[in-house]
Amino acid sequence: MSEASAHVVHHGPPTSFIRKHVFSLDHKVIGKQYYALALVAVVTGMVLSWLMRIHLIAPNWPIPGLQWLSKVGAPGGVMTPEYYLSLMTMHGTLMVFFVLTNAPFAAFGNYFLPIQIGAEDMAFPRFNMMSFWTTFIAFCILVAAFFVPDGPPLAGWTAYAPLSAVGKDAGPGEGLGQTLWGLSIFVFCIASLLGSLNFIATTLDLRTKGMTLARMPIVSWAWFITSCIALLAFAVLLPACLLLILDRIGGTSFFIPSGLNISDHLQPHQGGSPLLWQHLFWFFGHPEVYIAILPAIGIVSHILINSMRKPMLSHKTIIYCMMGIGFLSYMVWGHHMFLSGMNPFSALVFSFPTLMITIPATIMTLIWLGSLYGSNLRINTASLFCLGFISMFVSGGVSGFFLAQPSIDIYLHATYFVVGHFHMVMGVAAIFGVFAGTYFWFPKMTGRMMSERLGRLHFWLTFIGTYCIFMPFHYLGLAGNVRRYSAFTDDFLVPLIPVHKFITYSALFTGAVQLVFIFNLIYSHFKGAIAPANPWEATSLEWSTPSSPPPFDNFGGKHPVVYHDPYQYGVKSSTGDYLMQDSPERAGETP
Amino acid sequence: MRVSKPCIAVLVATLCPALMFGGTISGKVTYTGTPVKQKPIDMGKEPSCAKQHATPITTETVVTGANNVLENVVVYISAGADDTTVPSQAVTFTQKGCQYIPHVVVLHTGQELQVVNADQTSHNIHPMPTVNREWNKSQPPGSPNLSEKFDQPEFIKVKCNIHPWMAGRFAVLKTSHYSITGDSGGFSLPNLPPGKYTITAWHEDYGTQTQDVTITGNETKSIDFSFKAKAY
Amino acid sequence: MGGKLFAVILVVIALASAVPIVSHTFMGANVSLPEDISTHGHDIDKQLDETMIEAGLSFLAAQLVLAFFVFQSGGRNGVLKNFPGGAKYLVVAAVLLVGAEAIALGAMGTKAWGKVYFEPASADALPIQAQAGQFAFYFRYAGPDGKFGVLHPEKIDEGNSNFFGLDPENDIPARDDITSAELVIPANKEVHLMLHAKDVGHSFYVRELRIQQDFVPGLDLSLHFTATKVGKYEIVCTQLCGLGHYNMKAYLNVMSQDDFDKWLKAQSN
């Protein structure tokens, strides 16, 4: 099956500029487009977080130039409370959807999944192009919400109803901007569904000769599992967004109950349920966390094995753990809703599988650690980010152990403890995976090496900086510091402002450090040293292509044949201590 | 600047009747019955405002004076003197101590309204018109005054979404002939050229009353309004 | 070189991260839980402490082992060693240790959770209605007749202090209802708080009471608790409710029974 379809040539090489770089069918170009979009989104999201952090420690300070961005949202440069919440909503939405879903999954997955399994392209190249451009439309709709008269939406990335559903009575930021938010996510869901179908079909149908499922690299497995999760998760968010939009503009009442009086206006709705939105949203929302983190786990494991120069203790166990996490991710959404008013007994039911997720997560961590033992670890920027990932994954993971327990959640729910937890485990850890992937695969994607000196500088400062930002969030949470506040005026919050100052300065510093990365990316793209064919002495098929970047059909008209498991490191061979997957040679004994 | 003689003559001819020979309508607004007791406002959630009031302020829905006088009643000419000249001076509406000062603001259609935040906290000005355009804007401390206009005559309820107890009214009129009753309950509409007028008295809780008055020359006509107090 | 530097930095980060947890202070601010003034909070605190010890030790162990293994794996030049026992033991250890820990903690936490949510309020608990609306809390006591007036959302007039939408003109039980912006309660007496959301979702959070519960529009929930210490505490909203969310708060005023009775009487007049 796989052999036959792998020989199908989907499309010829593109000739015009537009077909080559804009409306390209080539999965590699589409992968880079996803990466570029994620880069734009992450820079925007980061600047928003800067503005928020500055506002939090100086709420009445006119931020120079901010009035230019929004005259109503920041009159005279002083940010209004609603504009803070709008920036927070846009930050969350951009980061979760357009960065954490796009970069590790859609961008790298598009580029490397077909190559790693020896295919010429994705199964449905036109679908693939459509999913990128649909994502791009979703992005444009979201950004448009910045510029509507009522201001950008402010209901948070979770858009809890009825605040998000009742319309402009609920205050500024709940007018057209919120409708655009719903529309943007609706369109994003369509794009993600198309994308994940394509990933699944590609993985199942286009593997080259000898590339059994068991011989797929971990990271391809991660993308495959992630697409299965995404297919089910976005399929739920899609109708949820449709219902939300209908409540807003169609006069329906799916999420709005009777008898609400907002701003002295009695609402005409009746019979809806706010909890329905929460269930639908989190049924998507929790798996979404794993959509962000599983590809990063895959990338990090893939790179780490290469850097350690020996196989993982059991890389299959990691794959099983990813499957386990993916499966459990559909049984735990209620842990976001312990205090939401749902039946308190169900909190215990949701708590149990949540605590169980610790088991596969711990197994993975132990395997990474156990594999590092006695390895011949090559330190470079990519492997440093992998190590940083493990550290962050552990730090963000242990705080999950608190929040998984309903009794502790009574105190910590909706505090900065939660903010620290998810930023570390899903934000920073996933981004470290993206950084590792970037430094590792850049030579393949561009034919040039990134500057190692700048890369290491970037790593050290980012690693220390992110800990300085996100660790103190946990301390704030223990003191009961409530999240989503645009200013800390409560008696018990005022004494905590010094901690917020520390976080803000750390965030400004760490954000500025990312300029080193962007400079490195651009500089190395044009001026970097020419990359050797296999700079990391890696084994998987992406390093078997005839050139870097690979030709439009990836393997120059040939079809690689796979003879080995993906990670033949620490062996004796004619190439050194490793054996490539498509090398017919048999490995000698372990040196 | 040189102004021709005929020009001055025309000006004098138009202005003089109004300035020199105009009639005046004046009177008093009172109530009958027992008005509901105004409730004290607890501003505990906004300490920076609470400490500005030695004794808690009360709601201002019905403000009364000695001798059954009713305050905050807008008395204006609702027919007979449509004047389209929009006053160039802006009207100021101040938020101080989490209270609107004044409680009732009278504006001409198209006249500029300046909203001032004199507090150390963010306010949110939310007029809730049915004819005019509704808006809802926040004003953090230290940000510039807001400038707004209303195009249609209407009585508009104003509230602050951040401090739900704050309530005020914008009375947008098509005339500059108006008067707001104070603690004496009196009103006076001077400088009226001869003609037939409809006088309306509006109170935010008790509604409106109208009376027709004819002014024949340089005279003062006296009319009174009396509202029936609501028990609840 | 890079590996050794990583190990050193990681050890410093791991130890430095633990210092504020142990010393309860960071940047001069107190970052510990405030004193517990509830009768049920002890179990929550105990649960948190247990979890802190287990999670804290796991955190330190994992970070330090990571640092150590990275430290020793540099400069080996091709001499590879395998972890004794391989993956099997690690998997078994993870399943048994973490599984046992998770089940034990989960079971233990059920007690604390149950005290708040499974036990019903006692029959003589003081009934108070709490209403959350953009962006203030208001509380309602039944008054001398012991009966609450019916809510009419269309009658809400905040500028006129009718925050609940009472109709005293037609509804006699509503006439003596006491509305307060402060939640005043007697100490050592159980309070039965009935939560009502006026407009959008809100949440009721008092750190010292170890209580947090969402207000859900259209779904009137109830809470019960006993405060043990006289004093003033802050009630804050923890569910994003719009622009004034940060400003949405009220005070919880715990009084002696005598003071409370006096206060209630003064409100009725």
The closest of C204, C207, C183 to C195, measured between CA atoms, is: C204
What pLDDT, in 10s, does the model give residues A113-155?
999 999 999 999 999 999 999 999 999 999 999 999 889 999 9
Q: Is the pLDDT of residue A5 over 80?
A: no
pLDDT band per the 50, 70, 90 thresholds, residue C268: confident
Q: Calculate the average pLDDT of chain B.
A: 89
Q: Is the pLDDT of residue A372 over 50?
A: yes
Mean pLDDT, residues A428-435: 97
Specify the pLDDT at position C172.
Answer: 94
Alpha carbons C169 and A218: distance in angstroms, whole number: 72
Flag the least confident range among A32-36, A105-109, A181-185, A577-581: A577-581
| Cβ–Cβ < 8 Å for C199, C131 | no
Q: Which residue has the higher pLDDT, A526 or B10?
A: A526
Please tell me if the domain spanning B23-80+175-232 has the same topology as the one spanning B84-173.
yes
The closest of C258, C255, C257, C204 to C229, measured between CA atoms, is: C255
Lookup: tokens for C6: 């990583």
CA distance B8 to chain A (A): 45
Alpha carbons C269 and C264: distance in angstroms, whole number: 9
Alpha carbons A136 and B209: distance in angstroms, whole number: 60
| Helices and strands (H and E) in chain C: how many | 6, 12
Best mutation target among C117, C161, C220 (most A Cβ atoms within 10 Å) is: C117
pLDDT band per the 50, 70, 90 thresholds, residue C76: low
* Region label for A561, one of left (φ > 0), alpha (ψ between -120 and 50) or beta (otherwise): beta
| Interface contact flag, A78 B137, Cβ < 8 Å | no
pLDDT band per the 50, 70, 90 thresholds, residue A3: very low
Alpha carbons B218 and B29: distance in angstroms, whole number: 23
* % of chain A exceeding 90 in pLDDT: 87
* Domain chopping of chain A, boundaries: 539-591
pLDDT band per the 50, 70, 90 thresholds, residue A591: very low
Q: How far is CA C129 from CA A93, A554, B207, C6, C194, in A?
A: 36, 68, 33, 56, 5
| Interface contact flag, C247 B231, Cβ < 8 Å | no
Specify the pLDDT at position A11.
Answer: 66
pLDDT band per the 50, 70, 90 thresholds, residue A10: low
Number of other residues whose CB lies within 10 A of the CB of residue C56: 15
What pLDDT, in 10s, does the model give residues C92-101?
988 898 889 8
pLDDT band per the 50, 70, 90 thresholds, residue B17: very low
Hey, which bits of chain B come out as E strands?
23-32, 64-65, 69-70, 74-79, 91-95, 100-101, 104-108, 113-117, 123-128, 137-139, 146-148, 154-160, 167-173, 178-180, 186-192, 195-203, 207-215, 220-222, 225-228
Q: Tell me the fold of B84-173.
A: Immunoglobulin-like (2.60.40)
| Interface contact flag, A80 B121, Cβ < 8 Å | no
- B137-139, strands of its sheet edge to edge: B104-108, B167-173, B154-160, B123-128, B137-139
| Interface contact flag, C99 A359, Cβ < 8 Å | yes
pLDDT band per the 50, 70, 90 thresholds, residue A28: very high
Residue for token digits 């036109």? A126
| Cβ–Cβ < 8 Å for A126, A134 | no
Tell whether B143 lies on the interface with A, counting CB pairs under 8 A.
Answer: yes
Instruction: Tell me the chain A residues in contact with residue C237 when contact means C-beta distances shorter than 8 Å.
Output: 482
Flag the least confident range among B69-83, C7-21, C67-81, C209-223: C67-81
Mean pLDDT, residues A24-46: 96
Mean pLDDT, residues A396-411: 95
| Cβ–Cβ < 8 Å for A368, A446 | no
Q: Is the pLDDT of residue C90 over 90?
A: no
Flag the least confident range among A6-15, A45-54, A566-575, B157-166: A6-15
Q: Is the pLDDT of residue A567 over 90?
A: yes
Lookup: tokens for A45: 């999201």
Q: Report CA Rg, chain A.
A: 24
Specify the pLDDT at position C87.
Answer: 85
| Interface contact flag, B161 C136, Cβ < 8 Å | no
CA distance A588 to chain C (A): 15
The closest of C96, C117, C108, C98 to C40, measured between CA atoms, is: C117
Mean pLDDT, residues A39-57: 97
Q: Is the pLDDT of residue C82 over 90?
A: no
Best mutation target among B51, B117, B143 (most A Cβ atoms within 10 Å) is: B143
Nearest CB neighbour to A80, from listed B128, B140, B157? B140
Alpha carbons C129 and C147: distance in angstroms, whole number: 11
User: What residue in B sits closest to C174 (Cα-Cα)?
Assistant: B232
Instruction: Tell me the chain C residues in contact with residue B159 when contact means C-beta distances shorter than 8 Å.
Output: 158-159
| Interface contact flag, B144 A264, Cβ < 8 Å | no
In sequence order, the 6+-apart residues with CB closer than 8 A to the CB of A188 are: A97, A98, A134, A135, A138, A234
Tell whether A265 lies on the interface with B, counting CB pairs under 8 A.
Answer: yes
Please tell me the total number of residues recorded for chain B in this structure.
Answer: 232
Q: Is the pLDDT of residue B61 over 80?
A: yes
- B195-203, strands of its sheet edge to edge: B178-180, B74-79, B195-203, B207-215
Does domain B23-80+175-232 bear CATH number 2.30.29.30?
no
Q: Calculate the average pLDDT of chain A.
A: 94
| Cβ–Cβ < 8 Å for C213, A339 | yes
Tell whether C250 lies on the interface with B, counting CB pairs under 8 A.
Answer: yes
| Interface contact flag, A408 C51, Cβ < 8 Å | yes
Tell whether C174 lies on the interface with B, counting CB pairs under 8 A.
Answer: no
Alpha carbons C19 and C14: distance in angstroms, whole number: 9
Specify the pLDDT at position A2.
Answer: 43
* % of chain A exceeding 70 in pLDDT: 98
| Interface contact flag, A81 B143, Cβ < 8 Å | no
CA distance A134 to chain C (A): 30
Q: Is the pLDDT of residue A4 over 60?
A: no
Mean pLDDT, residues C52-60: 95
User: What residue in A sits closest to C217 (Cα-Cα)?
Assistant: A257
Q: How far apart are the two ends of chain C, measured CA to CA in Å?
A: 79
CA distance B123 to chain A (A): 9
Nearest CB neighbour to A263, from listed B126, B137, B140? B126
Q: Is the pLDDT of residue B7 over 90?
A: no
Alpha carbons A382 and A304: distance in angstroms, whole number: 9
| Cβ–Cβ < 8 Å for B35, B61 | no
ipTM of the complex: 0.96
List the beta bridge partners of residue C130.
Answer: C139, C195
Lookup: tokens for B209: 């009353």
Q: How far is CA A72 from CA A50, A147, A150, B132, in A?
A: 20, 11, 8, 19
Specify the pLDDT at position B13.
Answer: 45
* Domain chopping of chain B, boundaries: 23-80+175-232, 84-173
pLDDT band per the 50, 70, 90 thresholds, residue B171: very high
* % of chain C exceeding 70 in pLDDT: 98
Q: What angle is formed at CA A409 by the lines to CA A404 and CA A414, rounded to 5 degrees? A: 115
Nearest CB neighbour to A402, from listed C43, C51, C99? C51
Alpha carbons A25 and A128: distance in angstroms, whole number: 7
Instruction: Tell me the chain B residues in contact with residue C158 when contact means C-beta distances shorter than 8 Å.
Output: 159, 164-165, 167
Q: Which domains does chain C have, with CATH numbers?
A: 2-74+87-117 (no CATH), 126-268 (2.60.40.420)
Q: Is the pLDDT of residue C135 over 60?
A: yes
Please report the residues numbered 164 through 193 in chain A whose beta carbons come closer than 8 angstroms to any beta carbon of chain B: 168, 171-172
Q: If DSSP states are collapsed to H, E and C, what string results for A480-534?
A: CCECCCCCCCCCCCHHHHHHHHHHHHHHHHHHHHHHHHHHHHHHHHHHCCECCCC
Model's pTM, two decimal places?
Answer: 0.94
User: What residue in A sits closest to C223 (Cα-Cα)?
Assistant: A341
